[in-house]
Each structure stands twice: as C-alpha cells, then as structure tokens.
Amino acid sequence: MTASWPSFIAGAAFIFIAFNAAFATLYWIGNDPISNVPHKAYIDYLYFSIETLSTAGYGDMHPQTNYGHFIAAVELFTGIFSMSLMTGLIFARFSRPSPSAVRQPCCYHQLRGQADADGALRQ
C-alpha cells in the first residue's frame, strides 16, 4: 500500500495483460474452443479473453466445447475476483488516514479519562 499511484496502476495493468495473455494462450492451444473466431489467430483469442475477463462478453464469440466452457468459467471467476480485489485495494488507498492526522477525543468516555485530579479536562 506504499506504492505510488503510477506504480499501482502500472502493476494493475501488468496483471491484467498477463491474465489475458495466459487465458488467450489456453484458448489458442485448444481445438476450436470458441465459435466465430474469424482467423483462429492468437489476437482473436486475446480479444475474446479481454471481453471475458472484464465480464463484458459482447456475444459474437462464445465457448463451443467443454474445454472452452471450462477455461471461460475459470476466467470469469478470475475476472470477478480480481475486480473485487482491485476495488478493495483502491478503497483502502483512499480511506487510509494521512500520517499528519491528529486524533481528537470523540466521546464523553474518552474525555472523562483525560480529567485531572481536580476534575478539570486537559486540552
């Protein structure tokens, strides 16, 4: 959580590219796992992987074999999980208090604990 924003975004982009490249390779080595792939080229499977991992799913290509369905199911789970993880990480980065923030007592019980011997509150 100490990485700079540019490093954080670059790391997220690298992971996104790595996931898509890995899943595209799995589709590419299969025996026609995806229908309507125009040229059976790696780039076509990469585009399908991006659509699947991002859970967009445009619909012109879809799994047509058990192998394709299995890889797509694993990729969908990975996409949903990684989006949830990224949301949590970004929330944590925005919600952490700044180091210069000073904590002030927020309720009577905390103030009462700071009373002097004569009952006067210390400021």
Give tens-digit pLDDT for 20-44: 999 999 999 999 999 999 888 999 9
CATH 1.10.287.70, domain 5-112, yes or no? yes
pTM value > 0.85? no
Residues 35 and 61: beta-carbon distance below 8 Å: yes
Kindly state the DSSP code that residue 56 receives in the 8-state scheme.
-
* Spatial separation of the C-alpha atoms in residues 95 and 45, rounded to whole Å: 38
Question: Angle at which helices 42-53 and 66-95 pack, to 10 degrees?
Answer: 50
Using alpha carbons, select from 76, 82, 78 the residue that is nearest to residue 13: 82
* Spatial separation of the C-alpha atoms in residues 69 and 61, rounded to whole Å: 12
Question: Angle at which helices 5-29 and 42-53 pack, to 10 degrees?
Answer: 120
pLDDT, tens only, 58-96: 788 999 999 999 999 999 999 999 999 999 998 888 786
Q: Which residues, in sequence order, are CB contacts of 24 under 8 Å at separation 6+? A: 42, 45, 46, 48, 49
Of 10-14, 26-30, 73-77, 102-106, where does mean pLDDT reach its minimum? 102-106
Question: How buried is residue 8: exposed, middle or buried, by Cβ count under 10 Å (0-12/13-18/19+)?
Answer: middle
The domain spans of the chain are 5-112
Confidence of residue 97 (pLDDT cuts 50, 70, 90): low
Residues 82 and 19: beta-carbon distance below 8 Å: yes
pLDDT at 111: 56
